[in-house]
Structure formats: structure tokens, C-alpha cells
Amino acid sequence: MRNVTLAVAAIAVMVVTLTIVLISLITNATFANTISQITDKIDVSVFLQDSDTPAQTQQLISELKHLPNVKSLQYLTKAQALQQYEQQNAGNQQLQVAITETSNPLPATILIKPVNLNQIQDIKTFLTKPAIAALQSDQPSYSGDREVAINKITHATDVLRKIGIVTVVVFALICALIIFNTIQMAIFNRRDEISIQRLLGASTSYIRGPFVVESAIYGILSAVFSVLIVNSAFLASSGALQATSLGLLDINYANQYFDAHFWQFLALQLVLGIVLGAVSATIATRRYLKFKTK
Amino acid sequence: MILLDRVTKTYARDLGPALDRISLHVDPKEFVIVIGQSGAGKTTLLRLLTREERPTSGKIIIGGIDYDKLKDKDIPMLRRKIGVVFQDFKLLPNKNVFENVAYALEIVGVSNREIRHTVPKVLSIVNLKGKEKYMPLQLSGGEQQRVAIARAIVRQPRILIADEPTGNLDPKHAWDVIKVLERINRYGTTVLLTTHNQEIVNKLKRRVVTIRDGKITSDRANAGYNRA
């Protein structure tokens, strides 16, 4: 390769492209994990009337179980609700005293875990039916603040995914253009040799081969670089900053995810790099080697 | 072997045709010299034979291959059957003599063993034994041209096309090259030679085809150089 500058440019842009791909994948997985963790904690609490009969309670539970968006539910009797409250507030003497002073003020409670947080509406609709509402001592709790957080993360993931796709496409195109240029220069530099090859009856693939191989090697180098860059970024963030999260992004998890899938990522990057290089080179040689006769 | 039937080649409409309804028949193992002024159409004729150009009209058949039916992807196969030698040699300057000749075999996937076996034989045919390690620029023009001939014949083509191979050479070296071409022709290869070297034409006493303004003006066996 005689044109070192162009080759370095081609590799650099390819590294950027592949690094964006890698970061997008890790970010995506990390957000998915954060959402599923929060989703796991969120639940809808239905507070029953003390006057409800066991039959009514059973009826309500079985109806709730049949709602499609209900993943699982748990029934707490008044005693169990008190027990849980005491456990949750074990450190707070005042609250404990406040509760035991009177008779147990806590209602029997049904805890519902929804399948999909974004479609909690059907549960709400069911719970606000007059017949069902009559069985409740209070408004159901939807852990409202968590819902907002989840919406935020879902939205952020969505936006980031879109930005990621657009950026990857743009950089892949820039990358292909630079490879085109690199190969155009290489073909120009070797034009005498190529014309001799043609007159001696070299096949198209024989002439094209070295260019495709060269670009595929750029792809391999870029893949290795991109994985190294992401790896050292994680080393730096965990070592120097002691950071565990960056806003909504859970760096610890991202790091674990990257480590756990290191070889898959490396393989993926290699495949992407080789394909990006080889395809660009094939198109470029098709364009610039002009195998047709006039 | 070589058949051209009313072949016309026009490069641009406002220029006249470079070749104007040329018909030519060359038998196997013939030695044909094509003469004519610069711009008469000699090079166009050869470029049509190697399929670097397509005719505007007319039919070309070489060794049973009808050029009308030849697809672009089959051109490499065609060129492997035709050896070509140029006025400017077209050797690869960064490869030595042996490598330049071996290159023609490497391109078509011949094994290294066979290359080591074949190349020295061909180099001895062109009288270049012992110069295997020389780089092209260390050789005289005549020697370089003989390397080019060796490269052209190493795959044993049935046709050898030589476009002004002596154009850049002094008389002694020119004659060395011509003697090599004659030897190759004796071994059974059809040779098509263009030149405007009178002395060579007169000495060779072969079939001479004269092209003038894109037309064949004479075609005579055992002929000498004739300006008319």
C-alpha cells in the first residue's frame, strides 16, 4: 500500500464506525437491564376493606389473575401487611410505636406485578370499576414516581437507538467513500501493472483480489482497535473515576455485559469490519477497474 | 484461424473510420506482416484481435471463437490463448526476468513446480539463459523485448501478436527479436507482426498485408516492402 495517509484515514473512520456500533449495543443492553430491574420492583397495590368477606377477596384475586397484563400477584392479610410494614420500618421506632398504639390500621393488600408497565391501563380500568372500587379502602398505588423513571429510560433508549443507527449508517458511508478513494488511488498507482495483468488474461477476481484482501485487513485491524478502545474506556472509568453509573447508564452493568460477551463482540466486530471493507472494495473495483471493453 | 469479415471500427462519428470494411484470413502457423504508416489502422486491428476494442460492425472469429458471442467475463480466457508483444515491452520494472515470465503463468494459477520447469526452457528459446536474475532496466532494449516475447509465449498460445516489437530497437537488436519470432513460428505458432522497418520486411520474405487509411491496399505472399 503506497498511500499510507489514505489507508490510515480509512482505518480511523472504520474504527469510529465499529466503536459506535459496539457502544450502541452495550448501551442498549444496559438500558434494557435497567428497565427490567425497575419493572421487577414496581407493582400495583390494591388496599382492601376490612369488611370484605373472604369469598369477595377470593373472587377479586381470581378475576385479577385473569387479566392479561398481570404477571403474578401476592395477597397479604392485615397481619402480614403489618409484619411487612414493621420489617420495612425496623429502624424507625416512632413509626413502629405509632402503629402498635392503635389496633392494626393496615388493610389487607393485593400486590400485583404487571407484565408490561406501559400497558398498566387495563389494570387501572379494572380496579376503578364501581363494583371493584367498592371493595377497596383506598386508591390503588401505582408507584407513580417509578413509572416516570421508566418512561424516561424507555424514551432515552429509543432516542439513543435511533441516533445510534443513523450515526452508524453515516459513518459506514463515510468509511466506504474513503475506502473507495483509497482503492482508486491504489488502482491509479498500479495502473501499468493492472493493464499488463489484463492483457495477459488475468481473471477479474485475480486483479480484484489484492484490493479486497487489503480492505478486509483494514476491517480486521479496525475491529481489534474498536474493541480495545471500548475495553480501555471501561478500565479507565472503573479504575480512575470509581464511577458506577452515568446518569441513567449503569456503567457497572455495561462493563459486566461487555466482559461476559467479549468474544462475541470481538467476533461481531471482525465480521462487520471484514464485510464493510470487502464490500466497499468490491464495489470500488467494480467502479474503477472497468472490466468492460468499448 | 484468424478471420475478419468486413470489419469496421469508428471511434468518433466526425472522424473517418479507423478501419473500413477490412477482410482478412490468416491460416494456422502463418507468419503475416502488417505494414502501414502511423495512423493507418495497424494498432486498431491488433486491439480488435485482443478484444481491447469492439468492432463497430463486421465479424471476427479467432481459433473458432466468434467475438460477437464473447461475453466480457470470457475475455480473460481469450487473452490466455493469444500472446501479445508491445513496442514498449510492458515489463514489470520491480520484477526480475524470471519473475516477469513466471507472472504470466502465476496469473492463470500454474503451480510453482511447473513454473520452475517451464520458464527456463522458454528463456532459452529467446536466448536469455543466465539472465534470470536481471532486472528489466539492467537489460538492453532487445533483451527486454525478448523477455516480453518469452512472457507472451510461455503459455504456448496458438497466436502471437507483435505490435511494432522492433520500433524502439537498433538494427542489430531488432534482428535478434525477429529471429526469435521466426523460431517461434517454426515451432507452430501463428505470428502477426506489425512493423514499418523496410529492411526486416524485405529480408523476411513473408506474406505482407498493407493497410492505408483504414483499408487493405495489398496482400501479397513472399513480398518485400512496397510503398505504393
Positive/negative CA dihedral, A273, A278, A280, A281: positive
Q: Which of A193, A203, A294 lies closest to B53 in CB terms? A: A294
pLDDT at A72: 82
Residue of chain A with shortest Cα separation from B108 = A202
Q: Are A273 and A215 in contact (CB under 8 A)?
A: no
How many CB contacts within 8 angstroms connect chain A with chain B? Answer: 48
Q: Chain A residues with CB inside 8 Å of B73's CB?
A: 204, 291
- Exposed e or buried b for every residue in B39-69, given b needs 16+ CB within 10 A? ebbbbbbbbbbbbbbebeebebbbeebebee
**pLDDT interval class at B207 (50, 70, 90):** very high
Residue of chain B with shortest Cα separation from A291 = B72
Q: Of residues A155 and B115, which shows the higher confidence score?
A: B115
ipTM over 0.85: no
Q: Which CATH number fits domain A43-142: 3.30.70.3040, 3.90.1150.10, 3.40.50.300, 3.40.30.10?
A: 3.30.70.3040
Out of A76-80, A155-159, A239-243, give the one with best mean pLDDT: A76-80
Instruction: State percent of chain A over pLDDT 70.
Output: 85
pLDDT at A241: 56
Q: Which of A192, A201, A292 lies closest to B76 in CB terms? A: A201
Q: Which of B52, B54, B107 lies closest to A206 in CB terms? A: B107
**A14 CA: distance to closest CA in chain B (Å):** 32
Of A38-47, A277-286, B13-22, the least confident: A38-47
**pLDDT interval class at A42 (50, 70, 90):** low
Query: What whole-number distance in Å separates Cα of residue B8 and Cα of residue A11?
Result: 49
pLDDT at A248: 59
Q: Is B11 within a domain?
A: yes
**pLDDT interval class at A39 (50, 70, 90):** low
Q: Are A171 and A272 in contact (CB under 8 A)?
A: no
CATH number at residue B42: 3.40.50.300
Output the pTM of the full model: 0.66
Instruction: Please give the average per-residue pLDDT across B31-35, as a whole number.
Output: 93
pLDDT at A266: 94
In this complex, do A293 and B77 lie within 8 Å of one another by their Cβ atoms? Answer: no
pLDDT at B17: 87
Which residues of A sit within 8 Å Cβ distance of B?
A: 192-193, 195-204, 206, 291-294
pLDDT at B193 over 80: yes
pLDDT at A290 over 50: yes
pLDDT at A264 over 60: yes
Q: Are A248 and A152 in contact (CB under 8 A)?
A: yes
pLDDT in tens, A218-257: 999 999 999 999 999 888 876 655 555 555 567 888 888 9
Q: Is B178 within a domain?
A: yes
pLDDT at A111 over 50: yes
Instruction: Please give the average per-residue pLDDT across A165-175, as a whole number.
Output: 85
Find the DSSP H helices in chain B.
42-49, 75-80, 97-107, 112-125, 141-153, 171-186, 198-204
Out of A60-69, A89-98, B18-27, B70-79, give the one with best mean pLDDT: B18-27
DSSP string computed for A54-71: HHHHHHHHHHHHTSTTEE
Residue A292 C-alpha from the chain's centroid: 47
Of A136-150, B150-164, B206-220, the least confident: A136-150
Domain range for residue B24? Answer: 2-90+157-223
pLDDT at A146: 60
Average pLDDT over all residues of chain B: 89
Q: Is B121 within a domain?
A: no
Q: Which of A192, A196, A201 lies closest to B80 in CB terms? A: A201
pLDDT at A256: 87
Q: Of residues A267 and A67, which shows the higher confidence score?
A: A267
Q: Is B144 within a domain?
A: no
All CATH 3.30.70.3040 domain ranges of chain A, comma separated, are 43-142
In this structure, what C-alpha cell is assigned to residue B157? 498460445
Q: Are A158 and A28 in contact (CB under 8 A)?
A: no
Q: Give, in degrees to the nearest 5, the angle at Cα A168 between A167 and A170.
A: 65
Of A28-37, A106-115, A243-252, B74-83, the least confident: A243-252
Q: List beta partners, residue B2.
A: B26, B62
Residue of chain A with shortest Cα separation from B52 = A293
**A205 CA: distance to closest CA in chain B (Å):** 10
pLDDT at A1: 46
As for how many domains chain B has, the answer is: 1
Average pLDDT over all residues of chain A: 81
**pLDDT interval class at A217 (50, 70, 90):** very high
Q: Which of A192, A202, A293 lies closest to B51 in CB terms? A: A293
Q: Is B123 within a domain?
A: no
> Measuring CA to CA, how many Å separate B197 from each of B178, B201, B226?
11, 7, 11
Q: Is B172 within a domain?
A: yes
Q: Chain B residues with CB inside 8 Å of A200's CB?
A: 79-80, 103-104, 107, 151
pLDDT at A291 over 60: no
Helix, strand, coil proportions of chain B in percent (round to 5)? 35, 25, 35
Q: Chain A residues with CB inside 8 Å of B151's CB?
A: 200
Q: Of residues A268 and A188, which shows the higher confidence score?
A: A268
**A203: CB partners within 8 A, 6+ apart:** B76, B107
Instruction: Please give the average per-residue pLDDT across B176-187, as a whole number.
Output: 90
Q: Of residues A65 and B24, which shows the higher confidence score?
A: B24
Instruction: State percent of chain A over pLDDT 90.
Output: 12
pLDDT at A60: 84
pLDDT at A2: 57
Which residue type, as a one-letter code, is found at position A28?
N
Query: What whole-number distance in Å separates Cα of residue A244 and Cα of residue A202?
Result: 59
pLDDT in tens, B132-142: 999 999 999 88
Instruction: Please give the average per-residue pLDDT across B90-118, as a whole number.
Output: 92
In this complex, do B50 and A292 lie within 8 Å of one another by their Cβ atoms? Answer: no
Q: List beta partners, residue A136.
A: A48
In this complex, do B79 and A198 lie within 8 Å of one another by their Cβ atoms? Answer: yes
**How many CB atoms are closer than 10 A to CB B144?**
25
pLDDT at B73: 83
Residue of chain A with shortest Cα separation from B71 = A292
DSSP string computed for B60-117: EEETTEEGGG--GGGHHHHHHTEEEE-TT----TTS-HHHHHHHHHHHTT--HHHHHH
Find the DSSP H helices in A68-143.
78-88, 93-101, 121-128, 130-133
Instruction: State percent of chain B over pLDDT 70.
Output: 98
Q: Chain A residues with CB inside 8 Å of B52's CB?
A: 199, 293
> Measuring CA to CA, how many Å separate A14 from each of A112, A262, B132?
49, 19, 43
Q: Is B168 within a domain?
A: yes
Query: What whole-number distance in Å separates Cα of residue A169 and Cα of residue A1?
Result: 27
